[in-house]
Amino acid sequence: MAANLASVRPSRRGFAAALAAAAALCCGCVLAAPSPARPEIDALLGRLQSSGCSFNRNGSWYDASDARAHLVKKLEYLEDRNLVQTTEQFIDRAASGSSLSGKPYLVRCGSAAPLESRTWLTQQLKALRANGAAK
């Protein structure tokens, strides 16, 4: 009987090792990598946060820090599904409007008239790229 147990143990160890390797591979598949555009998106969101502008989502105004937090959650959702490869995709798919109501997001800076967030973010992205600070 001892000989039989000795021959079974290595196969259990092998099975455990194979299971651990499969789990490691699986976890790597589940945890999506950040978008290749993430540094540029982070720079864009940093501009929003430091702008002092207000952000309108579904009829309510929020400060720029709350807006950034909300947009980061949407970005992470899209990254988990590998749906954002460019900053423009982020603007279109996450930062332009509500996925619930379909209403566009707005940005209001000081006493200026509100702009759709797509317009404001695209302007800021162009400025970032012109300054070479986006990447």
3-state secondary structure of 97: strand
Residue 88 confidence class, pLDDT cut points 50, 70, 90: very high
Q: Render pLDDT for 93-111 as a digit per residue (tens, 0 to 9).
A: 999 999 999 999 999 999 9
CA distance 77 to 99: 12
- Find where tokens 């589940």 sit: 30
Residue 91 confidence class, pLDDT cut points 50, 70, 90: very high
Q: Where are the domains of the chain?
A: 1-31, 38-131
